[in-house]
Amino acid sequence: MAATTTPTTTPPAASRTTTSLPGRRRQLAFVYGWLAPILALFAVFSLVPIGIAVWLSLHRYNQLAPVSPFIGLRNFTYAFTDDPAFLNSLAVTGKYALVAVPLNIVLSLAVALALNHITRLRALFRTVFFLPAIASAVAASLVWVPIYDPQAGWLNAVLNLLGLSGKSWLGDPGTALWSVMVTSVWQDLGFNVIVFLAGLQAIPLDFYDVAKVDGAGVVSRFRHVTLPLLQRTFVFVFCLTTIGYLQEFTRIQVMTAGGPLRSSETVVLHIYQRAFGDFQLGYATAMSLILMLIILVIALVQMRILRSRWEY
């Protein structure tokens, strides 16, 4: 007779790792115990300030007044309906990022490609390009202000030597933003060059060898090997550079203070002036939250578009 036996099955892999309830609790306690300090730091320095910022943005906050009345979304609607300077600053920031980000990336990639192909003095050139990046933005701006001086600056002096007439680069609404942009790209180039160079040097040479065997030329190798394999580096550089330029403040503050005629007033500068010049902290916080949302959306879109679906 066939013995009826309860089939004994080997426990599934998952159940082998399953621990008893008290054991799991101990594990969780261990994990949360170790995470607690960083969670506390995150709560104190990120969540609480964000919460306070949201609270501030919904109030007419005057540090000196005994009460700060709740005004709902008035600060947000005010930004878009009664403060043309805010809309102007959004446009200025957009223009700044739209031009400076591609310019920075194209130039830094070109420099990185050039550095990747030289062996002699590469370290020297890398250092030269990186040096401005380690200078403070204030120092870099102070170097460029006299260069742009309409009377004694060497930019106009060179133009005059060439028979061209100079300009008041920082004093003319038509050129002020572009002049600061040049300084920004000059200063920030080095950082992206280093990142791109690292990305380029991480690409296995085998890919290029195979491409060469298949008859791919320089342009084709760049188009079909270098660019796709740099995609992860692109995402990193693109997001960081865009976020940096959307938050541009120091160079603008030092070189033009947002003028003339607010032609170079970026959003962060406008927020700063409202917060610490006019002490409209509630309104400034509302603008900060608007900027945060804009940056968040742009960063997510960039990461979505540029995401990489493969590994090598």
Binding flag, residue 257, another protein (CB under 8 A): yes
What mask of x and - would describe binding to another protein in positions 9 to 48, judged by CB under 8 A? ----------------------------------------
Contact status, residue 282 vs residue 56, Cβ threshold 8 Å: yes
DSSP string of 92-159? HHHHHHHHHHHHHHHHHHHHHHHHHH--TTHHHHHHHHHHHHHS-HHHHHHHHHHHT-TTT-HHHHHH
Please give the structure tokens belonging to residue 182: 């040049």
Minimum CB separation of residue 279 from another protein in Å reads 6
- Closest by alpha carbon to 57, among 274, 277, 269? 274
Comparison of 110 and 257: residue with beta carbon closer to another protein:
257
Comparison of 251 and 262: residue with beta carbon closer to another protein:
262
Report 154-193 residues binding another protein (CB under 8 A): 160, 165-166, 168, 170-173
What 8-state DSSP symbol labels residue 88?
A: H
What mask of x and - would describe binding to another protein in positions 273 to 292, judged by CB under 8 A? x--xxxxx--x---------
Comparison of 281 and 291: residue with beta carbon closer to another protein:
281
Comparison of 228 and 260: residue with beta carbon closer to another protein:
260
CA–CA distance, 47 with 39 (Å, rounded to integer): 10
Comparison of 83 and 235: residue with beta carbon closer to another protein:
83
CA–CA distance, 116 with 19 (Å, rounded to integer): 53
**3-state SS string for 191-257:** HHHHHHHHHHHHCCHHHHHHHHHCCCCHHHHHHHHHHHHCHHHHHHHHHHHHHHHHCCCHHHHHHCC
Give the distance, in angstroms, between the CA of residue 225 and the centroid of all CA atoms in the same chain: 26
Minimum CB separation of residue 254 from another protein in Å reads 9
What mask of x and - would describe binding to another protein in positions 97 to 136, judged by CB under 8 A? ----------------------------------------
SS3 260: coil
Minimum CB separation of residue 295 from another protein in Å reads 26
Q: With contacts defined by CB under 8 A, name the span among 91-99, 112-120, 206-214, 252-260 that binds another protein.
A: 252-260
CA–CA distance, 15 with 114 (Å, rounded to integer): 56
SS3 59: strand
Comparison of 170 and 287: residue with beta carbon closer to another protein:
170
Report 61-90 residues binding another protein (CB under 8 A): 62-66, 69, 71, 78, 82, 84
CA–CA distance, 135 with 131 (Å, rounded to integer): 7
Q: How many CB atoms lie within 10 A of CB 68?
A: 16
Comparison of 71 and 291: residue with beta carbon closer to another protein:
71
**Residue of 5, 117, 151, 205 that binds another protein (CB under 8 A):** 151
What mask of x and - would describe binding to another protein in positions 199 to 238, judged by CB under 8 A? ----------------------------------------
Exposure string for 258-293, b = 16+ CB within 10 A, e = fewer = bebebbbbbbbbbbbbbbeeeebbbbbbbbbbbbee
Q: With contacts defined by CB under 8 A, name the span among 105-113, 135-143, 147-155, 219-227 that binds another protein.
A: 147-155
Contacting positions for another protein (CB under 8 A): 60, 62-66, 69, 71, 78, 82, 84, 145, 148-151, 160, 165-166, 168, 170-173, 256-257, 259-262, 273, 276-280, 283
